[in-house]
A and B are shown apart, each in its own frame.
Chain A
Amino acid sequence: MYGITRCPKCGYTQKTSPACGSCGQALNYSNPFGSPCRPESKPAPTRPAVAPASGQVKAPVPEKTPASDTTPSGELAFHGSGGSLFGIHIVNIFLTLLTLGVYYFWGKAKVRNYLFGQTEFAGDRFAYHGTGRELFTGFLKAAVIFGTISAVFKAAPFLPGGIGVKIAAMLLAYALLLTFIPMAMIGTRRYRLSRSSWRGIRFSFRGKTNAFIKLFLRGTLLSLFTFGIYYPFFLTRQYAFMTDGAYFGNRKFAFDGEGKGIFGVYMKALGLWMIWGILVGIAMPVATNFVRDFAIDWFGSKKMAVAVLIGSLIIATALVAVYLQSFLSARRQSYLWNHTTIDTARFQSTISFHPLFLLTLTNFFLLIVTLGFGWPWAAARKARFYMSNIRLEGAIDLQAVQQEAQAASPTGDALGGLLDVDVGFGPA
Chain B
Amino acid sequence: MKDFTILVGGQAGQGSRKAGLVIAKILNSLGYRIFIYDDYQSLIRGGHSFSKIRVSDKKVEGQSEQVDYIIALDQLTVDKHLKDLKESGIVIFNSDKVIFDKGLGVNSEVIAKEEGGSLIMANTAMISAFAKTIGIDFELLKNVFQKEFKKGLDVNLKIAERVYLEVEEKTKTEKLDNKILPLITGNEALALGATKAGLDIYYAYPMTPATSILHFLAEHKLGVETIQLENEISVIIAALGSAYAGKRSMVGTSGGGFALMTEGISFATIAEIPVVIVNSQRTGPATGVPTYSGQSDLNFILNAGHGDIVKFTIAPSNASECYEWGGRTLNLAWKYQTPAVVLIDKEISESTFNLEINTKIEQENNSLWNQEGDYRRYEITDNGISPLAFPGNGVVVKTTSYEHDQNGLTAEESEEDITAMQEKRLRKFESMQEEVDNMEDAIKIFGKKDSKNILVTFGSSTSPSIEAAENFDLKVVQIIVMEPFPIIQVTEAIGEDATNVICVEQNALGQLASLLSKNGIEANELILKYSSRALQKGEIEDLLKEIL
Mutual binders A and B: no
A residues whose Cβ falls under 8 Å from a Cβ of B: none
B residues whose Cβ falls under 8 Å from a Cβ of A: none
